[in-house]
Amino acid sequence: MQRLVRGYLDHLSVERGASPHTVTAYRRDLGRYAGFLADRGITATEQITERDITDYAAWLATGDSVRPALTASSVARAVVAVRSLHRFVAEEGHTPNPAVGVSPPQQLKRLPKALPIEAVQRLLDAPDPSSVSGLRDAALLELLYGTGARISEVVDLDVDDLMPVLANPDAGLRLFGKGRKERLVPLGSYARAAVEAWLVRGRPGWAAGARSPTPALLLGVRGQRLSRQSAWKVLQQHADAAGIADQVSPHTLRHSYATHLLDGGADVRVVQELLGHASVTTTQLYTLVTVEHLREVFVAAHPRAR
């Protein structure tokens, strides 16, 4: 069982080009699954039945005295990992697929949380442009909101990735999303100005203090590539300074980017391409946000809405 899991993780990484974060999540989920089966005395895939998989999902959802119950979304992710493993094993000709009839649990459809435009403006204005860290933070925040990129896509950017779009604003910024899927997104004047200020007045000083040269665009104080965790902390710091009471994450700015585009009249298919969604169904969640916003305005403003 462990050998097949390792083979599947190699397949994810090498053949399907999954990101290290995805592979790590699958390794954790499948390791937990293998442990559950081992406790049942199951060590080979030909011993596994559909009932074992449904029992595993129920075990995750209910928890026990030493392990808390998982949310529906976490259980669904774990079941998807198990289904993917068994599909891979079946395609490799090892055993039939016992997970064919198993579906992930249904999840409540949660609408993305977007910030009002005025709150986003306060957030973008929060970094101090007179400090090196403020220049870096401004570039980070403007890139997140100005492109709708995932946090991993922004911190993975190198200086050379920005040069084409800084030289020619019509060129677009090249981003690599899930599965290394490439897309080009426009970079507005505010984001370009923030990046240029960081490259000219901020980055050289921190880069000079690094132990070894790095091509990374966004750096930490010691000259190393900015991590996702550090970027998250930067965002939290400036959200607090901007007086934003709601929980703010890098994905909040991605949600805000999409919602504000749709509010401004952008076509959902265009937003799909800008976000790098494989399916327009995912993007259509943002149209629900916009409709909900319209309903709230109607109820508050129309004399016969209630």
Domain locations in the chain as residue ranges: 2-91, 117-299
Burial of 180 (0-12, 13-18, 19+ CB in 10 A): exposed
239-292 pLDDT, tens digit per residue, is: 999 999 888 888 889 989 988 988 888 888 888 888 887 777 767 677 666 666
pLDDT at 96: 87
The pTM of the whole model exceeds 0.85: no
What is d(CA 33, CA 54) in angstroms, rounded to the nearest whole number?
Answer: 11
Say which of 254, 255, 257, 260 is annotated catalytic. Answer: 254
Residue pLDDT tens, the chain, 306 long? 888 889 999 988 888 878 888 899 999 999 999 999 999 999 888 899 999 999 999 999 887 777 788 888 888 889 999 999 999 989 888 788 998 888 877 655 565 678 999 999 999 999 999 999 999 999 999 999 999 999 999 999 999 999 999 999 888 899 987 777 788 899 999 999 999 999 999 999 999 988 899 999 999 999 999 999 999 999 999 999 999 988 888 888 998 998 898 888 888 888 888 888 777 776 767 766 666 655 665 567 667 656
Structure-block tokens of residue 86: 């068994």
Three-state SS letters, 106-157:
CCCCCCCCCCCHHHHHHHHHCCCCCCHHHHHHHHHHHHHHHHCCCHHHHHCC
What is d(CA 24, CA 33) in angstroms, rounded to the nearest whole number?
Answer: 14
Say which of 11, 94, 113, 178 is annotated catalytic. Answer: 178
41: part of which helix (H) or strand (E)? none
Say which of 32, 83, 150, 183 is annotated catalytic. Answer: 150
Task: Transcribe 45-104 into DSSP letters.
Answer: GGG--HHHHHHHHHHHHH--SSSPPPPHHHHHHHHHHHHHHHHHHHHTTSS--TTTT--P
Whether the CB-CB separation of 132 and 205 falls below 8 Å is answered with yes
181 is annotated as an active-site residue: no
Beta bridge partners of 162: none
Q: Which residue reads 């592979």 in tokens? A: 23
Burial of 78 (0-12, 13-18, 19+ CB in 10 A): buried
What is d(CA 21, CA 30) in angstroms, rounded to the nearest whole number?
Answer: 14
94 is annotated as an active-site residue: no
286 is annotated as an active-site residue: yes
What is d(CA 275, CA 185) in angstroms, rounded to the nearest whole number?
Answer: 9
Collect all residues with Cβ–Cβ distance below 8 Å to 214 and sequence separation of at least 6.
207, 223, 224, 225
Say which of 40, 233, 251, 269 is annotated catalytic. Answer: 251
Beta bridge partners of 143: none
pLDDT at 296: 65
Say which of 86, 192, 238, 277 is annotated catalytic. Answer: 277
What is d(CA 279, CA 284) in angstroms, rounded to the nearest whole number?
Answer: 9
257 is annotated as an active-site residue: no
198: part of which helix (H) or strand (E)? none
287-301 pLDDT, tens digit per residue, is: 666 666 556 655 676
pLDDT at 65: 73
SS3 301: helix
Classify domain 117-299 at the CATH superfamily level. Answer: Intergrase catalytic core (1.10.443.10)
185: part of which helix (H) or strand (E)? strand 182-185
Q: Say which CATH topology domain 2-91 has.
A: DNA polymerase; domain 1 (1.10.150)
Structure-block tokens of residue 140: 């980070």
